[in-house]
């Protein structure tokens, strides 16, 4: 018997497909086709039977048609000439009396990835948009997006776009949602589908007819609509109120975000909505789906940024379960730190103490560092727990505790004596560099309170030749010099031997230079050493509640119900920068709006580092500007600021658009790639209504970017802030190259 994928097996399938006796028996013929599909799905190349499979598509058996069309969609790109033979059959099926056959044929035609297919599928797709059967219309709408994607950079077909907009009124709810997704894909370069007042109100009225996933999609699109007045805002909120009680979590989250965005000027409404969201979020946090649980926990952390005590009464919901993966446990531990108060501190600390001895080193470190964060408010209890962990004499536990002690004595000087009493003996269980540095720093800074400090440092100095980390050696040098000032008799000989080794034998230049520095400093006298090294031993001015600064809800509402809440923000910007680079192009139609709100939110939240003076400037998102209005405003205002920025030869100027778009500075027009000089015109608007119009001229000969800024409302402070923001965004592009 031929083995799977062998030439004999393929030949046997080919003979079976051409056998007239098998073709006469519909069941046997279908089974042979199933074998071909089985080989295909297992990675076997069965393209050699393409002709036989095309012939098999001429059948009234709909199951057989599905199998054959699946095969053709897979191998059409490899056999484009033979695939054209199936076009007639597909076109014929597109006018079949059975709507299932029509939809199947149309979907298969749109999935044939082969050159020149556009001219064959255009008319069937347009016919499908007006088909009586809703299933065919659903397929045809998605086919419009597929057809546009296959055409590449061809200009958008305006008649097709108008037809899709009209289909938003279709009585079938799935057709409506498919139209939104298709328009979003087709109009991607123009900013996506435009949601005006009639469309927005129509979508709101149709929400009850949609399924749960359709409701989630529509709620995302409704974020683009800006109501005209307070009355309209509350009318929309009243319509959305019932969706906050949905049994589908994604619908609740979508409705909540829309509430928060629309009620941005009504903080009390935002707070009430978050109170209603508490129960669904807590239910999701205990869901069996780990993905949903993680997403819910991330959103809980977002809410706690503005409402620190929002979940305090339900803190036990965030206790770690034995079967939780580490990424969920880490989130729960971070949340528990935010929920600590006088009533919950003992229960939370007991939960964290158990996690400190977990078999996962990463989780143990997270729990120990969390106790250190809580110790800033409840130092006595936390130091006692941390000191008790040293009795386990586990290397990773001891190292994390010592690092926590180092940070704690710097922030909370009242803990210094208790920490110093717990240190003796722990040096035997520390092997990693971070733990060594923390211990050596404590011994040098507070060695006068630790009886055996000089002996521990002497042991480290005696073994310095076997130490591989330069940072540990430098920390040891500094600690011995500091301890020498308070205990000179015990440290003089050890310090001399260490400095001699660093100067004469050490190969690392950083360590050798530090040794020379301390040698020359000591030569200048003890008083000079004290003046240089006797710095503060703690800095409580950072504040006990440094991690609990409340932020307005509007600072993170754009991140809500997006992937940005799940990622580290810098990581999210790096992930999205490359994909967004090609999405922003010349805006040529009136009313076009750039609506990449989720991407922009990464920068609005603080990922793009802006100079301090620019922090007071707030640029408005999603403003519309026509070329005519830009030209009129540009000629009516004189230049307010000129900047010259050095450019890098290997940086493509088109990459500027992504960084500028992220900080709400939009492009109205730009030169084609390769033009000399390259020009770009930008616009932005601040919260006071002032327009900033900018001209960029890049000369590759001089590698300089000439920038001219014009301002509609004269304000020197606002102009300086905008110029600083502009330079920072451009500098980010240059630095990222």
**pLDDT given at position 180:** 95
Tens of pLDDT along 251-267? 999 999 999 999 999 99
For the sheet with 666-670, list strands across it. 639-646, 704-711, 691-699, 678-685, 666-670
Tens of pLDDT along 625-655? 777 788 888 888 888 888 888 888 778 777 7
* pLDDT averaged over every residue in the chain: 85
Instruction: Identify the bridge partners of residue 707 per DSSP, sorted by sequence position.
Output: 643, 696
| Per-residue confidence band for 579, with pLDDT thresholds at 50, 70 and 90 | very low
- % of the chain at pLDDT higher than 90: 47
The encoded tokens of residue 347 equal: 């229960």
Tens of pLDDT along 453-472? 999 999 999 999 999 999 99
**pLDDT given at position 573:** 64
- Least-confidence region, from 253-267, 325-339, 469-483, 708-722: 708-722
Q: Is the pLDDT of residue 563 over 60?
A: yes
Average pLDDT over residues 382-386: 94
**pLDDT given at position 259:** 94
Average pLDDT over residues 373-385: 91
Find where tokens 């030169």 sit.
671
DSSP 534: -
Q: Give the domains, in start order, of the chain with CATH numbers.
A: 7-220 (1.25.10.10), 567-736 (3.30.310.10)
Q: Any alpha helices (H) in 263-355, and if so which ranges?
A: 267-285, 290-304, 326-338, 345-355
**pLDDT given at position 613:** 36
| Per-residue confidence band for 319, with pLDDT thresholds at 50, 70 and 90 | very high
Question: Contact, 182 vs 145, CB < 8 A?
Answer: yes
Pick from 685, 686, 687, 683: which is nearest to 696 by CA? 683
**What distance in Å separates the CA atoms of residue 521 and residue 510, rounded to the nearest whole number?**
16
Distances (CA, A) of 685 to 409, 620, 708: 47, 6, 16
Q: How many Cα neighbours within 13 Å face the side chain of 479?
A: 27
Q: Is the pLDDT of residue 146 over 70?
A: yes
Question: Contact, 643 vs 709, CB < 8 A?
Answer: yes
Q: Report helix, strand or coil for 341.
A: coil
**pLDDT given at position 574:** 62
Q: Is the pLDDT of residue 674 over 80?
A: no
**pLDDT given at position 737:** 58
**pLDDT given at position 12:** 87
Instruction: Identify the bridge partners of residue 686 per DSSP, sorted by sequence position.
Output: 619
**pLDDT given at position 158:** 84
**pLDDT given at position 640:** 86
Q: Which long-range contacts (CB under 8 A, 24 or more apart) does 189-193 make?
A: 189/156, 189/583, 189/585, 190/156, 190/587, 190/589, 190/592, 191/587, 191/592, 191/593, 191/594, 191/595, 192/224, 192/595, 193/221, 193/224
Q: Is the pLDDT of residue 333 over 90?
A: yes
**pLDDT given at position 621:** 73
- Least-confidence region, from 56-70, 327-341, 529-543, 657-671: 529-543
Q: Is the pLDDT of residue 595 over 50?
A: no
| Per-residue confidence band for 495, with pLDDT thresholds at 50, 70 and 90 | very high
Other CB atoms within 10 Å distance of the CB of residue 67: 19
Tens of pLDDT along 514-559? 999 999 999 999 899 888 887 778 777 655 444 455 778 888 888 8
**pLDDT given at position 575:** 64
**pLDDT given at position 171:** 93
- Least-confidence region, from 152-156, 575-579, 594-598: 594-598
Tens of pLDDT along 292-314? 999 999 999 989 988 988 899 99
**pLDDT given at position 142:** 93
Tens of pLDDT along 476-487? 999 999 999 999
**What distance in Å separates the CA atoms of residue 592 and residue 191, rounded to the nearest whole number?**
7
Average pLDDT over residues 42-47: 86
């Amino acid at each position: 018997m031929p083995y799977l994928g062998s030439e004999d097996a393929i030949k046997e399938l080919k003979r079976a497909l051409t056998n007239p006796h098998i073709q006469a028996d519909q069941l046997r013929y279908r089974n042979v086709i199933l074998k071909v599909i089985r080989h295909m799905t297992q990675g076997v190349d069965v393209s050699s039977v393409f002709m036989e499979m095309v012939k098999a598509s001429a059948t009234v058996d709909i199951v057989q048609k599905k199998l054959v069309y699946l095969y053709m969609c897979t191998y059409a790109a490899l056999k484009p000439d033979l695939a054209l033979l199936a076009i007639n059959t597909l076109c014929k099926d597109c006018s079949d009396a059975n709507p299932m056959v029509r939809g199947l044929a149309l979907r298969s035609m749109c999935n044939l990835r082969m050159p020149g297919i556009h001219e064959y599928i255009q008319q069937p797709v347009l016919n499908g948009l007006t088909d009586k059967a809703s299933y065919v219309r659903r397929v045809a709408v998605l086919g419009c997006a597929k057809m546009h994607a296959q055409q590449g950079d061809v200009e958008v077909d305006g008649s097709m776009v108008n037809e899709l907009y009209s289909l938003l009124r279709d009585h079938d709810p799935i057709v409506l949602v498919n139209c939104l997704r298709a328009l979003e894909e087709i109009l991607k370069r123009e900013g996506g589908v435009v949601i005006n007042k009639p469309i927005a109100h129509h979508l709101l009225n149709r929400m009850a007819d949609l399924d749960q996933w359709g409701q989630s999609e529509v709620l995302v699109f409704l974020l683009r609509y800006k109501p005209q007045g307070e009355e309209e805002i509350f009318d929309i909120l009243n319509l959305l109120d019932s969706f906050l009680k949905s049994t589908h979590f994604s619908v609740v989250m979508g409705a909540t975000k829309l509430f928060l965005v629309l009620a941005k000027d009504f903080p009390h409404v935002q707070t009430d909505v978050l109170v209603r969201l508490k129960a669904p979020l807590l239910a999701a946090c205990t869901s069996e789906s780990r993905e949903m649980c993680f997403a819910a926990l991330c959103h809980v952390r977002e809410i706690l940024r503005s409402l620190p005590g929002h979940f305090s009464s339900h803190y036990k919901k965030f206790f770690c379960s034995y079967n939780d993966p580490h990424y969920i446990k880490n989130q729960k531990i971070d949340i528990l730190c935010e929920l600590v108060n006088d009533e919950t501190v003992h229960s939370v600390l007991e939960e964290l103490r158990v996690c400190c001895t977990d078999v996962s080193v990463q989780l143990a470190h997270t729990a120990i560092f969390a106790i250190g964060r809580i110790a800033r408010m409840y130092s006595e209890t936390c130091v006692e727990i941390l000191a008790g962990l040293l009795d386990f004499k586990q290397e990773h536990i001891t190292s994390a505790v010592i690092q926590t002690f180092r940070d704690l004595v710097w922030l909370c000087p009242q803990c210094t004596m208790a920490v110093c009493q717990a240190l003796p003996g722990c040096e035997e269980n520390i092997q990693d560099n971070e733990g060594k540095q923390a211990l050596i720093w404590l011994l040098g800074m507070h060695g006068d309170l630790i009886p055996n400090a000089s002996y521990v440092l002497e042991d480290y100095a005696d073994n310095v030749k076997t130490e591989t980390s330069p940072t540990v050696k430098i920390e040891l040098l500094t600690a011995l010099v500091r301890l020498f000032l308070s205990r000179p008799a015990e440290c003089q000989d050890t310090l001399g031997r260490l400095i001699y080794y660093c100067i004469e034998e050490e190969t690392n230049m950083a360590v050798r230079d530090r040794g020379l520095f301390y040698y020359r400093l000591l030569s200048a006298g003890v008083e000079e050493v004290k003046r240089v090294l006797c710095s503060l031993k703690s800095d409580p001015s950072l504040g006990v509640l440094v991690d609990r600064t409340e932020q307005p809800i509007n600072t993170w509402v754009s991140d809500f119900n997006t992937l940005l809440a799940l990622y580290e923000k810098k990581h999210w910007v790096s992930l999205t920068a490359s994909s967004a680079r090609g999405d922003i192009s010349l805006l040529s139609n009136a009313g076009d709006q750039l609506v990449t709100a989720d991407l922009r939110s990464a920068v609005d939240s603080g990922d793009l580092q802006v100079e301090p003076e620019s922090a007071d400037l707030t640029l408005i998102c999603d403003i519309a500007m026509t070329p005519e209005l830009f030209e009129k405003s540009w000629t009516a205002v004189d230049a307010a600021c000129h900047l010259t920025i050095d450019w890098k030869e290997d940086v493509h100027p088109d990459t500027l658009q992504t960084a500028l778009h992220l900080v709400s500075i939009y492009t109205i027009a730009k030169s084609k790639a390769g033009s000399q000089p390259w020009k770009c015109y930008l616009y932005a608007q601040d919260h006071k209504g002032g327009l900033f119009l900018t001209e960029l001229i890049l000369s590759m000969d001089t590698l300089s970017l000439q920038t001219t800024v014009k301002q509609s409302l004269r304000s020197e402070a606002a102009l300086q802030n905008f110029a600083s923001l502009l330079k920072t965004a451009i500098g980010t592009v240059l630095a990222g190259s």
